[in-house]
Amino acid sequence: MKANLPSSDNPRIVIVGGGFGGLRLAMDLSHTNYQVVVIDKNNYHQFQPLFYQVATAGLEPSSIIFPFRRMFQKAKNVHFRLAEVNAISTEKKEIETNLGSITYDYLVIATGAGTNFFGNERLAKLSYPMKSIGEALVLRNSLFLSFEHALASETEAEKEGYLNVVVVGGGPTGVEVAGTIAEMKRFILPRDYPEMDFSSMHITLVEGSPKVLNGMSEKSSLQALEYLKKLGVEVVLNAFVQDYDGKIVTIKGVENIATRNLVWAAGIVGNKIIGLQDEDYVRGGRIKVNRFNQVESNTSVYAIGDVAYMETERYPNGHPQVAQGAIQQGKNIAKNFIAMSKSQKMKKFEYKNLGSMATVGRNKAVVDLPNRHFAGFSAWLVWMVVHLRSILGIKNKFLVFLNWIWNYLTYNLSLRLIIQNPRREEIKEE
């Protein structure tokens, strides 16, 4: 079966994934002489850097996601299809989706990365990852449901298990989630649950390497550690989670921790689609590409963003898997497609490091610019401006800004809702 698409005499570029990379590429190819087909399994673009605020009830999900059809309204040569891509046939120049097959002249794989549980199925089933808005909402439900269960617990040990939160992975996501939950414990939960004593609630951040924010400067890493400790987060470094049964997390060389809330932010792996050759993949499930983002075994296929692996002189082990990397690659290959249509030369990709940052609770952040590090309130203001600027849509920017101001002034956003499935039979307690 063939998926329904308008016929066109122009070459067709199929983009799989409308994340930071795929979306930038599609927007830059609008109004060109290509037929552009964007395929995504969701009908919206997600702003992943703020997932942690949705998970901790600081933001509405709808303020950090944006529907593709709204974005492509004026781009007549761009067609969106809500579908999941299952396989590629490079021989037939065709992809297989649940809507049927779609042929391409050029294919761009921009599927990003998913959570890496390192083969542990129990962790995959029982912990809470945060790689989609849906997962952020599931975490929010679990946290607030746990607090309700804690109130009904018959023993102190059972109560502690419901209250404790263990976050695995000391990268920006882990640091941001742990910091925000620690603030919630201090400022919000005692007001919501005046009958409960939160002194037995522990927030633990477990990191396998000797420092948090491993990809940032030494100064940022030390500063973030200090901020976390001040907020009351217990940071365990050089430690690896071995297993989790839904109630107890086992950590190598460290005492077990009782928790119903294990947040998994410890690793990512490229979202794979069947059909490329084994040699096209390198570690982390990433697709090896040349300096034009083309897959070497088949140059009509491109990969960009988190799923792509490109070695350059400055980045011999591949680029960092961050939004800027995906956006810059999307921009560069859009320019190259336009150059190709004019029989001009393509340009090699060169990553421009614009800096990195992470926030640790209100008022505090760390920022690394290419030649400068700073931290504290000024870093937090910069963090806010950069994120606000990056969110799509004026309404979304306004909503996020308004929420932040309200939250800052009152410590009290009313998004702590537990949205349950009305058709579930019972809460499954093991």
Ligand X SMILES: Cc1cc2nc3c(=O)[nH]c(=O)nc-3n(C[C@H](O)[C@H](O)[C@H](O)COP(=O)(O)OP(=O)(O)OC[C@H]3O[C@@H](n4cnc5c(N)ncnc54)[C@H](O)[C@@H]3O)c2cc1C
Contact positions toward ligand X, by CB under 6 A?
16-22, 39-42, 48-49, 51, 84-85, 110-112, 130-131, 172-173, 271, 273, 305-307, 321-324, 326
In angstroms, what is the minimal distance from the CB of 23 to ligand X? 7
Residue 79 CA to residue 72 CA, distance in Å, equals: 8
- Spatial distance between the Cα atoms of 198 and 168, rounded to a whole number of angstroms: 22
In angstroms, what is the minimal distance from the CB of 119 to ligand X? 20
Angle value at C-alpha 160, between 178 and 173, nearest 5 degrees: 15
Q: Which is nearer to ligand X, 112 or 179 (CB)?
A: 112
CB of 392 to ligand X, least distance (A): 12
Residue 58 CA to residue 420 CA, distance in Å, equals: 19
Query: Cα(first)–Cα(last) distance of the chain, in Å?
Result: 44
**Closer residue to ligand X in complex, CB, 254/386:** 386
Helix axes 323-341, 20-28, angle to 10 degrees: 30
Nearer to ligand X, 55 or 188 (CB): 55
DSSP-based three-state secondary structure for 428: coil
Q: Are 223 and 185 in contact (CB under 8 A)?
A: no
Q: How far apart are CA 402 and CA 391, in angstroms?
A: 14
416 CB-contact burial (10 Å; exposed 0-12 / middle 13-18 / buried 19+) = middle
Nearer to ligand X, 150 or 307 (CB): 307
Residue showing the smallest CB distance to ligand X in the complex: 19
Q: 40: which 2 tokens?
A: 């995504």
| For ligand X, the closer CB: 161 or 305 | 305
Smallest distance, Å, CB 387 to ligand X?
Answer: 8
Which CB contacts under 8 angstroms, 24+ apart, belong to 314-323? 314/350, 314/351, 315/351, 318/282, 318/286, 319/351, 320/215, 320/356, 321/113, 321/268, 322/356, 323/20, 323/48, 323/49, 323/390
In the complex, least distance from residue 425 CB atom to ligand X, rounded to whole angstroms: 30
Residue 289 main-chain phi, psi, to 5 deg? -125, 160
Q: How far is the CB of 139 from ligand X (least distance, A)?
A: 10
Measured from the CB atom, the residue of 29 and 326 that comes closer to ligand X is 326
349 dihedral zone (left: phi>0; alpha: psi -120 to 50; beta): beta
Question: What tokens does 15 get?
Answer: 């983009």
Nearest-approach distance from CB 197 to ligand X, in angstroms: 31
DSSP code, position 144:
H
The encoded tokens of residue 168 equal 């695995």
Neighbouring C-beta atoms of residue 168, cutoff 10 Å: 25
For ligand X, give the closer residue by CB, 150 or 303.
Answer: 303
In the bound complex, what is the minimum distance in angstroms from residue 93's beta carbon to ligand X? 18
Structure token pair of residue 132: 């989609």
Collapsed DSSP state (helix, strand, coil) of residue 201:
coil
Q: 319: helix, coil or strand?
A: coil
Active site residues: 176
Which CB sits closer to ligand X, 161 or 330? 330
